[in-house]
Amino acid sequence: MYLESLKLENFRNYKEQEINLINGINLFLGNNAQGKTNIIEAIYICAFGKSYRTIKDTELINFESDYCNINCKYIKSAQGTCSFYIDNMNRKQLKNNDIKIKKIADYVGEIPIVIFSPESLDVVKGSPARRRNFIDMICCQLSKSYIIYHQEYMKCLKLKNSILKQDYIDDNYIEVLHEKMAKYIKFIVDLREKIINKLDYYSKDIQKSITDGAEEIKLEYVTDFINKSEEEIKKYLDEHLYVDKLRKSTIKGIQRDDLGIYINEKEVAVYGSQGQKRTALLTLKLANFELLKEEKDEIPILLLDDIMSELDSKRINYMLKYIENYQSIITTTEDTFARNIDNIKIFKVSNGTLEN
Ligand SMILES: Nc1ncnc2c1ncn2[C@@H]1O[C@H](COP(=O)(O)OP(=O)(O)OP(=O)(O)O)[C@@H](O)[C@H]1O
Ligand SMILES: [Mg+2]
């Protein structure tokens, strides 16, 4: 699939802007603070119904306006549309092909995307939460049930943690919560495991090819729940309740899962050089692309925010070669790498306006 056009109305520093994209490299070029990342963010919002930069939707509204609108047209087997609206009363409206969508689970997945920005490096060197988020983003794009079960699990967890903080704890009530949580955990763990195994499979060849065979990557799902049935998961949660009570918080659960990333058998977060971390991330993102392409039977859209400054010329060339036949949205302050590329459209970004 590919995006045909994007229309922004009062979104961040854009007042009214229509953007016609090509099914190739769309390069947004400009100085700092002109509105390049805002374009990436707008496309992300079309895909996920929310931003990755803020949890407050109203922040997206232009300072001088009281509402904002994002519309995008895409081509799959037929033309489709996605839209996002928010006003300063926090009234939000998502639409798919002009049909109002009530639940986020019914919205996500229409436009598959892979996003790679300087913050993505946290997937490799940051906390487990960043790695879980990386896996969750893929799972959410593949399964509506995953979104729903994850939301339900987090609700149960919040409730359980609030009960654990009270003086009197009703064990029977917690057991009922554990029963529900075990069902959600089983589903979530099964999908996370499947996705990590597939990412591992795709990563191997990519990593070898970027490093001319010098580095072998291995991805491993780190969880307490692999190969456990729903009943065994429930039992495990029950058995750890006494520790939860001591700590006044839930210590075992999928909110602790992690993704182990190893280069030549060594954990990259701990032993990897800066360059190895960047290479591992590039591999992960390209594996993410291959996985979505295969599982959704659609070509995902690549959002690359300011990553040329993060990669050396060898890796930039590898990536450009990899993506040349797909649609990508790239932001940059320097366009030297863009010379000698066909199938590219350059947009000059200046203070919330575009010129091409
Ligand atoms: N709600 C808003 N209304 C108006 N302007 C906003 C709003 N939110 C952010 N901005 C402005 O948008 C501008 C551009 O932001 P953006 O992150 O897209 O810059 P950029 O071109 O990616 O810059 P850099 O190269 O530094 O990453 C900033 O100057 C910011 O103040
Ligand atoms: Mg930016």
One-character DSSP codes across 8-37: EEEETTEEEEEEE--SSEEEEE--TTSSHH
Domains identified in the chain and CATH numbers: 1-112+298-356 (3.40.50.300), 123-297 (1.20.1050.90)
Residue 337 pLDDT: 83
Residue nearest to atom 30 of ligand 1 (CA): 33
Atom of ligand 1 nearest to the CA of 28: 21
Atom of ligand 1 nearest to the CA of 60: 1
CB atoms within 10 A of CB 180: 17
Which structure tokens are listed for 292? 């979505």
For the entire predicted model, the pTM comes to 0.96
Enumerate residues lining ligand 1, CB below 6 A.
12-13, 30, 32-38, 59, 61-63, 306, 331, 333
Q: What is the mean pLDDT of each run of 10 residues along the chain (356 residues)?
A: 98 98 97 98 98 97 98 95 98 98 96 95 96 98 98 98 96 96 98 98 97 97 97 98 97 97 97 94 97 97 92 90 94 87 94 94
Atom of ligand 1 nearest to the CA of 331: 22
Which residues touch 312 (CB under 8 Å, ≥6 apart)? 275
* Ligand 1 center from residue 91 Cα (angstroms): 23
